Structure 1
Amino acid sequence: MPVRLRKLIGMILIVVLVIVYAMLATTFATLLLATSPWWVHLLYFLLTGLLWILPAMLIIRWMERPAREE
């Protein structure tokens, strides 16, 4: 697969990942953490704010692989 096509697909995947992840994390927080104290909200959003980086790193690593010589 050409590098430019891989980067385009990766960019689209990262945008979709961020949108879906933010919607799921926020929905979960409003449904289950509504009556929790402020420090639970702080820990939750701190954790979920950093957790999306792991799948994004995998996508970026895949995007940056050099093209195979064919």
Structure 2
Amino acid sequence: MSAASSGLSPRLRKFIGTVLMVLLVLVWALGAMALAQGRVTVLPGYLQFVAYVILGIGWILPAGVLVRWMQKHDRRQETL
């Protein structure tokens, strides 16, 4: 099995992950703002609190999956 067919290099994986992370944060922030200004304002206070907590920290789960993928060990054989 050649090195090219074993997967992405760690450097490329981290670059792609960084770009995806920036896009995730931008899209999440814009979506959260749109929901917070529209639908959340008509909810009772306790549900507003829950919605703001979810909208504020909900991006952490997909970001964690992305970071785990970025940190995945290189499948190529290491040379000494």
TM-score range (shorter-chain normalised) is 0.7 to 0.9
Question: What letter is aligned with 1:29?
Answer: A
Aligned residues: 70
Q: What corresponds to 1:43 in structure 2?
A: 50
RMSD: 1.6
Larger Rg: 2
Unaligned runs of 5+ residues in structure 1 are none
Q: Which runs of 4+ in 1 moved over 6 A?
A: none
Q: Percent identity?
A: 36
Pairing 1:1-20 to 2, within 5 Å after superposition: 1-20=8-27
Report the TM-score when normalising by structure 1.
0.84
Q: Distance in 1 between matches of 2:63 and 2:47?
A: 25
**Larger proportion of helix:** 1
TM-score, reference length from structure 2: 0.75
